[in-house]
Amino acid sequence: MLRSLLIVLLLLTAGTTTAAEKQFTILFLGDSLTEGLGLDSGQAFPELIGKRLQAAGRSDIKVINGGVSGSTSASALSRLQWYVRAKPDLVVLSLGANDGLRGLPVAELRTHLTETIEFARKSGLKLALAGMMIPPNYGTDYTANFAKVFPELAQLYQLPFLPFLLEGVAANPALNQGDGIHPNAEGAKIVADHVYTFLAPLLPVK
Amino acid sequence: MLWLRLAWKEISNNYKFSLFFVLNLGIGLIGFIALDSFKHSIDQHLANNSKAILTADVEISSRFPLTAKETGFAEAFLDTRFEATNQISFLSMVAANNNSRMSQLVAIEAGFPQYGDLVLQQRGSVQKTSARAELLSGDNIWVARDLMVLLGLQIGDQVKIGAREFRILDVVLDDPTTSISAMNNFPGIYMGIAQIESTGLIQLGSRISYARFYKLPPAFELKGLREKFTKAAQIEFKEPRRVTLTTHLDQSADLGRILTYMNDYLGLIALIALFLAGVGAAYLFRSFFTSRFKDMAILMCLGGTPQQAYYMTLMQIVLLGTISAAAASLAAYFALPVLPSLFTSFLPHGFTNSMDVNSLILALFMGTLGSVICCLPILSKIYSLNPVGLFHEKVEPSAIGPHWLRNTASYAPILLVFWGLAIWQAHSTRIGTVFIAGFLIAIGLLAAIGWAILRVCGLLSGSVTVIRKLALRNLDRNRMGALSCFLAIGLGSLLINLIPQIQKGLQQEIASPARFTMPDFFMYDIQPEQIDPLQQLLKQQGYALAFQSPQVSARLDVINDKPFGAALETADEQRMQRRMYNLTYQDQLKASEAVQEGKAWDGAWLPDSTELPGISVEQNFAKRMGLKIGDTLTFDVQGVPVQGRIVNTRKVTWNSFQPNFMVSFQPGPLDPAPKTFVAAISKVAANERLHVQNSIVNAFPNISIINVQQIVGRVLDITDQISWAIKVMAWLAILAGLVVLFSIARYEVKSRFWEINLLKILGASFTDIKAIVQIEFGILGFCAAFTGTALSLAMSYSLAWFVFDRLWRFDALLTAGSLVAITALSMLTALIATLSVLRQKPLELLRAT
């Protein structure tokens, strides 16, 4: 009896130990905003979130910066298929800005994001969606139709949703680089704060 | 005034000789003016073409409205007079007939464009008509032809842009500005600045480009301006890249680089022209002055001071030089503008050739002040002139004497003036200094080698036939005269041969090899699953997908087990660490690639292989990164480490119009990685292009498609013109050089008439005399040309090293050709001149002396 109890205890302890050591991986699947174009090493918002988690003693959480400059939503599915090898526990999908800036049809954006979300579901990946808006000069109809895609998909698939990735940063010259669209170091910090607050409830409790 | 009268009397008394001198110097100066003017015309023509793309000399732009402080700062930075015009532009969706397209809205002011022209369907040239005033007078727009077709629009239609309706006034058929923005290749809509503000599209958060264009004085130096501005703006505004400055040279990295090469090359040509004219003029002046030593000695016998003797002769030279320069300028003035009309078929469109004021000033300088400077060293010799010399066959000042220091110092003004001129002509202190230093070394070496050759001629003269003996002894005995001729011919051939080697290297770099044809479309961002349907779509229209290459985005993490950039300290170095690379993988090399070092791989890499996958790196990239064969590289391919070993370095023909990559992997490890494809389509008929482009955009909206012909065509056009100009200038330089050499050889033979006459009196046959002169000039011409050419190879190589990024190719045919041509020219000129001396009666010749 005692022997059996010991084995169970050992197993439980072993189980607890494994759970404690298991890493929780967050994958940020995005574009240049995620990659940190024009910023120095370690200044992109996913890296800032990683550092903040480390500082908070969350060494069990690993962050992968899957940002590729210039990428559109068309690449989302194949990229997520590649990242499945890294077994992410949470995917933050923040693609679409380049679709908008290049004036790609809104229906295409919707299709690509839908395919990606459905693949994540089938693969058992937890996915959060970051919304995007495009500058008003692109025209009232186009900007409105574009912005609608993200909340609609989030609602349809019941996804955790961040309404606008660049909230509080976009259009502010002091927080953006000279090109007017990529956050500078200060801007990236605000994005990181904002995304961190959004992610906090989605992270495993220590 | 007295000196002037005396000098003129001397000239008119010796009018035959004077005419001959003026003719020789004039021919040389015409060569110089033609070469220098042509250089300026080409420079101007190419710059205008490049300015037409930007529509200005300089542009400052910002993503935020330009403040008065910013424009004030930029204008204070430019610190010159200017004309300015503002522009606002942004992208917007434009809808019509149930269709919508992304367009580039461009709002202009009346001053647009400052260079170049837009061609409208109904009104024609924007520069030459009142089209701009009409456009700016109301809610009017000009629309690019492509957009008219895509949206099914007609002139007179109303189009809604933002909150306002605009009337299509005309269609833009030709717009040079479309050549810049390869990535934002959206059809343009032009309107007035006041009108664009009423569209309501400019709001908080709108992505707008605010620009101010400047037209600056022609001589304003633009090279390096952007970098200087960036630094100054950073200090002033503390925020980098807020306001950027772009010159017309910066628009396309390639074009800018090529235009800089061209500028340096033309600077070099100008230097060659200057030095050729200098060598010719100096030689003729000095020879003239030396031939006048006898008159000076007589003048001194009659109680004249050396100073007076000198002034009179110098005044003669200045007068003759001025007449030559004026005559040459006049001849060039009438001949140069006519020249292009003779070669219209191979001159670029719109090219005009006119005489440049600078060339004229320089030619006059060479003719007048040049003579004074070139004769300064001889002036000092006058103090060593002894009237006793009158009893010698030739009157020459003693070379060694108490005035040797003054003799040596008298060369300093020549050096300083030519150094200054070299810098002025080349527009670069560096090139001017490198050139003059090389030239001085070459003079030293040429003089030493020439001296040795003439000495050898003397030694060899003992064991040959009488004719050869006389020829060889003449060279040895008259060593100073022969040496100056040797120096002049040697320097002439050095200058002539400097160009071909650099020209060949430059041309190989600039002109795209004939075996590569430019495709009509480049496409990127093609998703893997789109390749097959895209191929199908093209096949239906009779086209095929070419050069498709996978592109995998990755970050270099580890080199040889050491984290890349671990040892890097500066922010710039660390930024490099973040650099993402576009990797590709391929079975075999493309036509534009060749293995430079190492081996190509054989087939795909297999996961059970004991070897790491092969990596091929571009040779210059390898050099820059300090990579060598055998090094291992680990890339972070979007979260997954992929390691490989460098097995070869590749030479890539970048201007091959094919997708080329710095780093290429052996097929296998990257196959499953997320990737996109780049590809091209070739041989699409001009009237089919819009249709093909449209069908791809409709079927695969995410694929970015670049109309290469439209974007690169204009830049390539300029590149072709540069390549053409480089070749023509090389030939012109050779021609001008030969003209100068011809006048030198002619003068030299003429000055031998005393000896020729003596031989004639002593009973030598015409054939013998001809043979003696031929041998003399053959040896002089060949040896000088050979030495000059050999030195030119070394000098052009170092020039290429310092100035032209080591672009140097040995052109054996041209080198050998110029060697033969210079030797033949020396012998032929000598022969013609000898014949004219031989035709005269000995008595006339005796009287003439």
pLDDT of residue A20: 47
Q: List the beta bridge partners of residue B580.
A: B555
* CB burial string B615-648: b at 16+ within 10 A, e below: bbbbbebbeebebebebebbbbbbbbebebbbbb
Helix (H) or strand (E) holding B215: strand B209-215
- β-partners of residue A61 are A24
Which of A31, A32, A71, A112 is the catalytic position? A32
In whole angstroms, what is the distance from residue B682 CA to residue B522 CA?
A: 9
Mean pLDDT of chain B: 80
B772-798 pLDDT tens trace: 888 888 888 888 889 988 888 888 888
Q: Among A69, A133, A137, A164, which would you mutate to test the B interface (most chain B Cβ atoms within 10 Å of its Cβ)? A: A137
B210 has a chain A CB within 8 A of its CB: no
At B215 the pLDDT is: 95
pLDDT for the residue numbered B843 = 65
Question: What's the token pair of residue A23?
Answer: 């890493």
Whole-angstrom distance, CA of residue A83 vs CA of residue A70: 19
Which pLDDT score is estimated for B385? 63
Distance CA B477, CA A161 (A): 100
3-state secondary structure of B561: coil
Q: Is the peptide bond before B217 cis (omega within 30 degrees of 0)?
A: no
In this prediction, residue B399 carries a pLDDT of 47
* C-alpha span between B807 and B503 (Å, rounded): 9
**Contact yes or no for B91 and A137 at CB 8 A:** yes
Residue B630 φ/ψ region, left for φ over 0, alpha for ψ in the -120 to 50 degree band, beta for the rest: left
Position B122 confidence tier, pLDDT thresholds 50, 70, 90: very high
Residues B25-68: pLDDT tens digits?
Answer: 787 777 777 777 777 777 777 777 788 888 899 999 988 889 99
* Residue type, position B482, single letter: A
Of B91-105, B106-120, B208-222, B558-572, where does mean pLDDT reach its minimum?
Answer: B558-572
Residue (of B728, B805, B15) closest to B353 by Cα position: B728
Helix axes B429-460, B766-802, angle to 10 degrees: 150
Tell me what the mean pLDDT of segment B389-396 comes to: 56
Q: Strands B140-144 and B124-125, how do they pair?
A: unpaired
Give alpha helix (H) positions in B565-707. Answer: 571-577, 619-625, 689-699
Which one-letter DSSP state was computed for residue B129? S
Determine, for residues B525 and A179 on separate chains, whether the beta-carbon distance falls below 8 Å. Answer: no
Token pair recorded at residue B660 = 């080329």
Token match 């460098």: residue?
B646
Residue B193 to residue B196: CA distance in whole angstroms: 5
Looking at residue A201, its pLDDT comes to 95
Residue-wise pLDDT tens digits, B10-26: 788 877 777 877 877 78
Residues B472, B705: Cα–Cα separation, whole Å: 73
Is A41 a known active-site residue? no
Beta-carbon separation of B92 and A138 below 8 A: yes
- Answer for the pair B201, B162: CB distance below 8 angstroms, yes or no: yes
**B182 — contact with chain A (CB < 8 Å)?**
no
Chain A contact present for B204, CB below 8 A: yes
> Which chain A residue lies closest to B205 (C-alpha atoms)?
A171
Per-residue model confidence (pLDDT) at position B538 = 93
- Whether A112 sits among the annotated catalytic residues: the reply is no
Which two tokens mark B453? 């050759």
Q: How confident is the model at residue B849 (pLDDT cuts 50, 70, 90)?
A: very low
Chain centroid, CA B647 distance in Å: 37
A16 Cβ contact list (under 8 Å, min separation 6)? none
Band the pLDDT of B467: cuts 50, 70, 90: confident
- What pLDDT sits at residue B187? 83
Q: Which residues of B411-421 are buried (b: 16+ CB within 10 A; e: fewer)?
A: eeebeebbbeb
Domain spanning A24-202, CATH class: alpha beta
Whole-structure pTM value: 0.68
Q: Does B102 touch chain A (CB under 8 A)?
A: yes
User: Does the structure show a pLDDT above 70 at B756?
Assistant: yes
Chain A CB contacts of B242 below 8 Å:
173, 178
In angstroms, the Cα distances linking B361 to B37, B276, B368 are 11, 16, 10
Structure tokens at B13: 């008394």
- Closest to B742 in 3D by CA, of B15, B25, B18: B25
Most confident of A194-203, B52-61, B754-763: A194-203
pLDDT in tens, B654-677: 767 778 889 999 999 898 888 899
What's the pLDDT score for residue A3?
Answer: 40
What is the spatial distance between Cα B288 and Cα B316, in angstroms, rounded to a whole number?
Answer: 10
For B83, the 3-state DSSP assignment is strand
Question: Which of the listed ranges B77-86, B125-134, B215-224, B255-264 does the model predict with the highest average pLDDT?
Answer: B77-86
3-class DSSP assignment, residue B834: helix
CA-to-CA distance for B56 and B41, rounded, in angstroms? 19
Alpha-carbon torsion, ordered B347, B348, B351, B356, to 10 deg: -70
Q: Find the mean pLDDT for residues B420-430.
A: 78
Instruction: Write b or e for each residue in B824-845: b if 16 or more Cβ atoms lie within 10 A of its Cβ, otherwise e.
Output: ebbbebbeebbeebeeeeeeeb
Residue of B nearest to A75 (CA): B527
Per-residue confidence (pLDDT) for residue B346, from 0 to 100:
53
User: Among A2-16, B235-249, B334-348, B741-755, where is mean pLDDT lowest?
Assistant: A2-16
Q: Among this protein's residues, is A32 annotated catalytic?
A: yes
Interface list for B 543-582 with A (CB within 8 A) = 553, 565, 571, 574-575, 577-578, 580
B691 CB-near residues (< 8 Å, 6+ apart): none
Of B509 and A64, the one with more pLDDT: A64
pLDDT (0 to 100) of residue B649: 93
Comparing CB atoms, the residue among A71, A103, A180 nearest residue B102 is: A103
Interchain pair A68, B527: CB under 8 A = no
Confirm if B446 and B787 have CB atoms less than 8 A apart. Answer: yes
Q: Does A104 sit within 8 Å of B205, measured CB to CB?
A: no
* Cα B555 from chain centre: 38
Alpha-carbon span B62 to A179, nearest angstrom? 8
Point out the residue among B62, B239, B638 whose CB comes nearest to the CB of A68: B638
Could you say which residues from 10 to 49 on chain B have a Cβ atom under 8 Å away from some Cβ of chain A? none
From the CA of B549, how many Å to the nearest CA of chain A? 16
Question: What string of DSSP letters covers A30-90?
Answer: ESHHHHTTTSPTT-SHHHHHHHHHHHTT-TTEEEEEEE-TT--GGGHHHHHHHHGGG--SE
Chain A CB within 8 Å of residue B676 CB: yes
Report the percent of chain A where pLDDT is more than 70.
90
Answer yes or no: is pLDDT of B838 > 60.
Answer: yes
- Note the pLDDT of residue B348: 59
What is the per-residue pLDDT for A5?
Answer: 37
pLDDT, mean of residues B683-692: 86
Alpha carbon distance B190, B170 (integer Å): 10
- Of A54, A72, A73, nearest to A63 by C-alpha is A54
- Residues of chain B with pLDDT > 70, as a percent, come to 81
Over residues A151-159, mean pLDDT: 97
Closest CA of chain A from B224, distance in Å: 21
Among the listed residues A71, A73, A112, A182, the single catalytic one is A182
Q: Where are the beta strands (DSSP E) in A86-199?
A: 90-94, 126-130, 161-162
Sign of CA dihedral B478, B480, B483, B487: negative
Least Cα separation, residue A36 to chain B (angstroms): 10
- The answer to whether residue A16 scores a pLDDT higher than 70 is no
Helix (H) or strand (E) holding B580: strand B580-585
pLDDT in tens, A109-126: 999 999 999 999 999 999
The residue behind tokens 């306001």 is B243
pLDDT above 80: residue B705: yes
Residue-level length of chain A: 206
Q: What is the mean pLDDT of residues B268-275?
A: 72
Q: Cα separation of B508 and B79, whole Å?
A: 39
Query: Taking CB atoms and an 8 Å limit, are B201 and A68 in contact across chains?
Result: no
Residue predicted with more confidence, B190 or B693: B190
Top-confidence range, A192-196, B268-272, B391-395 = A192-196
pLDDT at B80: 92
Contact B578 A40 (CB under 8 A): yes
B307-366 residue pLDDT tens: 777 777 778 888 888 888 888 888 877 777 766 665 555 555 666 666 677 777 877 887
Alpha-carbon distance of B295 to A1, in angstroms, equals 136
Identify the top-confidence range among A89-103, B269-283, B672-686: A89-103
Coil, strand or helix at B57: coil
Higher-confidence residue of B610 and B512: namely: B610
| pLDDT tens digits along B596-622 | 889 988 889 888 888 899 999 998 888
Are B773 and B805 in contact, with CB atoms under 8 Å apart?
Answer: no
Min mean pLDDT across B368-377, B400-409, B683-692 is at: B400-409
pLDDT category of residue B204 using cuts at 50, 70 and 90: confident
Tokens of A33: 């905003």
Residues in chain B: 849
- Among the residue ranges A73-87, B716-730, B769-783, the one predicted with the least confidence is B716-730
Measured between beta carbons, the chain B residues lying within 8 angstroms of A112 are: 702
Helix (H, G, I), strand (E, B), or coil: what is residue B91?
strand
Give Cα separations from B295 to B300, B313, B403 (angstroms). Answer: 9, 9, 22
Q: Which residue of B has its CA nearest to A38?
A: B575
In the block, residue with structure tokens 């002439």: B492
Find the mean pLDDT for residues B130-144. 92
Nearby residues of B199 by Cβ (< 8 Å), 6 or more positions away: B105, B161, B162, B163, B164
Q: Could you tell me the pLDDT band of residue B730, with boundaries at 50, 70 and 90?
A: low
B-chain residue closest to A170, CA distance: B205
Distance from C-alpha of B834 to C-alpha of B830, rounded to nearest angstrom: 6
Strands, DSSP E only, in B11-120? Answer: 58-62, 83-96, 99-108, 119-120
Q: If you average pLDDT over residues B379-397, what whole number do you get?
A: 61
Distance separating the N- and C-terminal Cα atoms of chain A: 33
Nearest to B498 by CA among B803, B813, B789: B789
Chain B partners within 8 Å of A141 (Cβ): 93, 95
Which residue bears the tokens 């091209």? B680
H or E element in which residue B559 lies:
strand B545-559
* CA–CA gap between residue B376 and residue B344 (Å, rounded): 45
Does the pLDDT at position A142 exceed 90? yes
> Which pLDDT value is given to residue A162?
97
Between CA A52 and CA A61, with CA A57 as vertex, the angle to 5 degrees is: 70
Which residues on chain A are in Cβ contact (under 8 Å) with B206?
A: 135-137
